Structure 1
Amino acid sequence: MRDFPSCFGENGVQIADSSSSNAGKNAQNLVTCIYKCRIRGSTCLITVTWTKNLMGQGLTVGVDDSCNQTLCKVEIKPWLFTKRKGSKSLEAYSRKVDVFWDLSAAKFGSGSEPLGGFYVGVAVDKETVLLLGDMNKEASKKMKMNPTVTPSSPNASLIAKKEHVFGKRAFATKAPFSGDGKRHDLVIECDTSVSDPCLIVRVDGKTMMTVKRIKWKFRGNNTIMVDRMEVEVLWDVHSWLFGMPSTGNSAVFMFRTCQSAEKTKASSFFSDTKSQSLGFSLALYAWKNE
């Protein structure tokens, strides 16, 4: 949350983030998702981070209350990932937080986020506020909860996501741009080996944006429509075109559906995700494999 990229101005993108300053070969395959959850009329934010590196898969779950106080943080480090199933209970600020997980049968693709065969659940004061994965039946027995609770239920909504992706010309992920939980296929294409590269953004296979002469427009912003909703797209591909090996080879993209009237004058880029009340934001770090 606090390490998300900082700042866009009105006239373009200026992105700075510690994770993008690492060299490409050392970049960690990482996905961070922030969920806004309701607990007995109040709000909390749950941050779930999946990591993948040479040591293996890792998982971190953090719970913050509406006053930005950290209630708990549970970390399963990659070298300890043999403990693929378990639970942890903590008490903080007069609240009991229970985190449950079962990754013993989890299926992973090329990324760090599991594709299926798992569950991760969070309960606060014995009330289930978040459930991820496709093992609702198993989770309900362990957590003693209603098996109909899902991540897309009114109790929880995904408000922000940060992801590192890798490729040569195309970079793909999935993102929900509307409150109904529908995940769209998002693909960014850019062939920097040609003399006059262009930047293409596709959603569900449909070309939504093409930026020609990208060498002159390596930073910028545009608006596309997804499900009749405006999605603001901001990009910085300077490192792809002009970067040195020591600075890495990653471009940064931002997709956001925030409905704020001041969105074009925003002074921060994910620097204070906790203050967001509307919309969804995706920060995508695209690393080119040579």
Structure 2
Amino acid sequence: MQDSIGIPACFSSSERQADDTATVTRSGQSVFMSVYRTKLAGECRLVTVTWCKNLLLHGLSVSVQGPDGDKHYRCKVELKPWYFWRKQGSKHFIVDGRMVDVVWDLKAAKFNGETEPRSDYYVAIVCEEEVVLLLGDLKKDAFRKTGCRPSLIEPMLVSRKEHVFGKKKFSTRVKFQEKGPFHDISIECNNSSISSDSSLGGFDPELQIRVDGKLAIHIKHLQWKFRGNESVRISKTSVEVYWDVHDWLFGSGPRHGMFIFKPVNSSTSAPSSSSSKLGEVCRQDESVEEDDDNAGESSRFCLFLYAWKVE
């Protein structure tokens, strides 16, 4: 059954708006983008699943990369709280002449105040009688509803981008290994320390990054160390953490700090502490579709967190 579904404001023009600074700040919406690599319509492609949330609605968008890497095929879903029947349904679109179905059941989904649901839901992407990507914990329900078999190729999570809002504390949850546990990450900028020779009106800000409640990184004198990187150990995974909070300290108007969490192989030497490294990681993520040789390595995954300060 095909639902006639409107397009959320956060996806009204193009999914690329989720990365557009002006669009995100105007709407004040949280945006979570997860990029997966899987085989679809005869090709290995990147599939982006985007969730957005503002005061009025939840939005869900699925984007499939075209053969040239630039063109994208999209399916967009609006989840208004007063339209309960639209929290379950399906839509289809055509990718290179082949039909792709997006089937979802969010009627019992538990969001727990977050943008992306925590449990009791599924979103299935189906092509040529295969479920090529399946999100959520109701997997049996998804296979029963679609009547299709699982894909022979296991999808791989390539990257995750999040836009979150707060006054001084920002939180998220992430898996650094596909079969590993979720980890709670919190980032807090503390301006309570006072320094008489500080150039920031007497304040000497500090940055604290906690993982599962434990202090992992503590940066003092942030006005001198607003860009940098450190390695931390999370469970059995080595994670390189990059930060750039220049705009928090010296910008005006709506501004965000950027944080990158990138698992690295133990055999890979840790990068030097240099502000240019953050830009290199961003460029690596943008060109990830060009590198298939190491696609199976956990080090290919990156979490990009855009932390927007709200006064």
**TM-score, normalized by the shorter chain, greater than 0.5:** yes
Asked if the contact 2:31–2:51 (Cα under 8 Å) also holds between the matched residues in 1, the reply is yes
How far has the Cα of 1:66 moved from its partner? 6.3
C-alpha change, 1:35 and 1:181, in structure 2 (3 Å) is farther
Query: Aligned with 2:123: secondary structure?
Result: strand
The residue number in structure 2 matching 1:84 is 87
Does the alignment pair 1:105 with 2:113?
A: no
Asked if the contact 1:43–1:66 (Cα under 8 Å) also holds between the matched residues in 2, the reply is no
* 1:100-140 Cα deviation digits (max 9, x unpaired): 01122222233211122221001121111111112223212
Matched pairs, number? 272
The residue number in structure 1 matching 2:290 is 275
* 1:11-68 Cα deviation digits (max 9, x unpaired): xxxxxx632x568564321111111224598522211100112331111011225653
Query: Aligned with 1:244: secondary structure?
Result: coil
Query: Aligned with 1:270: secondary structure?
Result: helix
Any residues of structure 2 matched to 1:117-156 within 5 Å, and which? 117-145=120-148, 155-156=154-155
The residue number in structure 1 matching 2:207 is 199
Equivalent-residue separation in structure 2 for 1:209 and 1:139 (angstroms): 41
The residue number in structure 2 matching 1:54 is 55
C-alpha change, 1:156 and 1:181, in structure 2 (3 Å) is farther
The residue number in structure 1 matching 2:65 is 64
C-alpha change, 1:44 and 1:222, in structure 2 (3 Å) is same
Equivalent-residue separation in structure 1 for 2:286 and 2:82 (angstroms): 30
Query: Aligned with 1:177: secondary structure?
Result: coil
Q: Which amino acid aligns with 1:171?
A: F
TM-score (norm 2): 0.75
The residue number in structure 1 matching 2:159 is 160
Any residues of structure 2 matched to 1:138-287 within 5 Å, and which? 138-145=141-148, 155-194=154-193, 195-245=203-253, 248-257=254-263, 266=280, 268=283, 270-275=285-290, 277=295, 278=297, 279-287=300-308
* 1:174-223 Cα deviation digits (max 9, x unpaired): 11112424321111122134432221222222222111111111112222
How far has the Cα of 1:168 moved from its partner? 2.8
Of residues 208-217 and 254-263 in structure 1, the stretch that sits farther from structure 2 once superposed is 254-263
**Structure 2 gap ranges (5+):** 1-13, 194-202
**Structure 1 gap ranges (5+):** 6-16
Residue identity (%): 36
C-alpha change, 1:69 and 1:197, in structure 2 (3 Å) is closer
How far has the Cα of 1:155 moved from its partner? 1.1
C-alpha change, 1:25 and 1:181, in structure 2 (3 Å) is same
Q: Which amino acid aligns with 1:220?
A: G
CA-based RMSD of the aligned residues comes to 3.3
Which has the larger Rg?
Answer: 2
How far has the Cα of 1:230 moved from its partner? 2.8
Of residues 97-106 and 261-270 in structure 1, the stretch that sits farther from structure 2 once superposed is 261-270
The residue number in structure 2 matching 1:11 is none
Which has the bigger relative contact order, CA under 8 A and spacing at least 6?
A: 1
Query: Aligned with 1:139: secondary structure?
Result: helix
Query: Aligned with 2:61: secondary structure?
Result: strand
Of residues 92-101 and 114-123 in structure 1, the stretch that sits farther from structure 2 once superposed is 92-101
Equivalent-residue separation in structure 1 for 2:41 and 2:252 (angstroms): 51
Q: Which amino acid aligns with 1:18?
A: D
Query: Aligned with 2:286: secondary structure?
Result: coil
C-alpha change, 1:197 and 1:230, in structure 2 (3 Å) is same
